[in-house]
Copies of this chain bind each other. A is one copy, B any other.
Amino acid sequence: MEKELDSETLDWRSVCPIASGLDVLGDKWSLIIVRDLIQHGTRTYSEFGDSPERISTNILAARLKWLTSLGLIEHVDPERASRNNAYRLTASGLALRPVLEELGRWSQNHLKALHPDIVDIL
């Protein structure tokens, strides 16, 4: 109860849609989780840890809770709360696909000089 990271307790910086999007997704990990779910459809807790970015377990747990409270992801089986219960995107989460596509496209076009190993897929 020290830190309730919950969509109720969020204070928005402004009424701007871009700023509001960043209030919610403007960190280094949330969109990585969304990306994994777009690529794989569903993913269990430990499968998220297999991605090359190597998210640590405490951050993963916090972000999954956060994205769930926002309604962007959900458990595949709403009953069985854990033990190999995978996560998947809701319709809201899936709607982020164009955002990720544009971001990936931009990175490929404008980050190659700084990061030559960057790769060509979503």
Q: Is A80 an interface residue (CB 8 A)?
A: no
Is A76's beta carbon under 8 Å from chain B?
Answer: no
Interface size class of A (residues with CB under 8 A): 35 or more
What per-residue 1/0 map shows which CB atoms of A27-66 lie under 8 Å from chain B?
1100110010000000000000001111000000000000
A17 at the interface (CB under 8 A from B): yes
User: In the bound complex, do residue B28 and residue A23 qualify as a contact, i.e. CB atoms below 8 Å apart?
Assistant: yes
Q: Are B53 and A31 closer than 8 Å at their CB atoms?
A: no
Closest to A109 in B: B95
Task: Give A92-111 interface residues, CB cut-off 8 Å to B.
Answer: 92, 95-96, 98-111
Enumerate chain A interface residues (CB-CB to B < 8 A): 7, 10, 12-28, 31-32, 35, 51-54, 70, 92, 95-96, 98-111, 114-115, 117-122
